[in-house]
């Protein structure tokens, strides 16, 4: 088998469609994802995945808006920091600051669209590629370890697992992004109510735009809940 044949087979494997899983598998993975988001002790661990999406959202939009990305840090307390250079005000800075909280939900919505079209393997490989690209910009050991483990999980499942395992993993991840994307905005709202998080994304956006933080919080809520509703319908085949 020559290299061109191998490359063609690989491309067809990635871009091809796979059969939709049964409804029970979709429902079970949704319940498992909900169990990974709801209990506080579990959420303290699983929230790391949402932080990866959050900081990745900041980083991607910073690059797309013409800013220079200096690096990303992920911390064991599930916080993170993305540093970029450019104008301290203006549309690019606003978009960069606004991209974090909606990122997980929008990724989940995009994933649900792929799964509804039967592109399970494409989703797994796409996630692996995004994590590999993000790894280049990670600037601390904990962040690098987190991203490597996440990327390895996607790669191994996509390369070694059978169709049913791939489907279960992909649907579980997308459910988790959709459900997990809802909780951080409520957590931020609660912190602000008690006088915490003075430098949150919503507060930074308020300083950049003179639009009250509560409006930005409302936007985060709307994006998360609408993504959950729309993505959930796609996942359930409705």
Torsion angle of C-alpha atoms 9, 10, 12, 17, degrees rounded to 10: 130
CA distance 201 to 190: 14
Backbone φ/ψ region at 17: left (φ over 0), alpha (ψ -120 to 50), beta? beta
Confidence band, pLDDT 50/70/90 cuts, at residue 6: confident
- Higher per-residue confidence, 7 vs 135: 135
CA distance 236 to 238: 6
Asked if 51 and 78 count as a contact pair (C-beta separation under 8 A), the reply is: yes
CA distance 213 to 206: 5
CA distance 46 to 41: 9
CA distance 129 to 15: 14
pLDDT > 70? residue 10 = no
For the chain, percent of residues with pLDDT exceeding 90: 87
CA distance 182 to 220: 8
CA distance 69 to 119: 31
Q: In this predicted model, what pLDDT tens digit does every residue of 163-209 receive, in sequence order?
A: 999 999 999 999 999 999 999 999 999 999 888 888 999 999 999 99
Instruction: Please state, in angstroms and as integers, the Cα–Cα distance from residue 25 to each residue in 133, 173, 180, 216, following that order.
Output: 31, 13, 19, 36
Q: So where are the chain's domains? A: 20-235
Q: What pLDDT is recorded for position 3?
A: 58
Q: Where are the alpha helices (DSSP H) in 68-182?
A: 91-98, 100-116, 120-135, 141-160, 163-180
Q: What pLDDT is recorded for position 238?
A: 67
Mean of all residue pLDDT scores within the chain: 94
Q: What pLDDT is recorded for position 130?
A: 96
Q: In this predicted model, what pLDDT tens digit does every residue of 54-70 receive, in sequence order?
A: 999 999 999 999 999 99
CA distance 23 to 237: 8
Stated pTM of the model = 0.94
């Amino acid at each position: 088998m020559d290299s061109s044949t191998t490359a063609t087979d690989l491309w067809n494997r990635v871009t091809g469609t796979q059969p939709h899983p049964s409804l029970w598998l979709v429902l079970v993975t949704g319940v498992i994802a909900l169990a990974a988001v709801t209990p506080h002790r579990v959420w303290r661990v699983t929230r790391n995945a949402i932080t990866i999406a959050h900081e990745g959202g900041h980083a991607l939009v910073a690059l797309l808006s013409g800013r220079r990305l200096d690096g990303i840090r992920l911390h064991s307390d599930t916080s993170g920091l993305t540093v970029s250079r450019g104008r301290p005000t203006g549309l690019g800075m606003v978009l960069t600051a606004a991209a974090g909280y909606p990122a997980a939900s929008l990724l989940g919505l995009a994933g649900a669209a792929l799964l509804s079209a039967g592109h399970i393997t494409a989703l797994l490989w796409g996630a692996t590629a995004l994590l590999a690209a993000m790894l280049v910009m990670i600037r601390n050991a904990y962040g690098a370890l987190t991203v490597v483990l996440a990327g390895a999980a996607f790669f191994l499942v996509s390369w070694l697992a059978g169709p049913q395992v791939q489907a279960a993993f992909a649907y579980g991840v997308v459910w988790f992004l959709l459900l997990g994307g809802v909780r951080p905005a409520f957590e931020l709202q609660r912190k602000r109510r008690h006088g915490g998080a003075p430098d949150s994304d919503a507060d930074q956006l308020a300083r950049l735009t003179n639009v009250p933080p509560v409006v930005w919080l409302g936007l985060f809520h709307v994006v998360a809940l609408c993504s959950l509703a729309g993505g959930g319908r796609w996942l359930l085949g409705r």
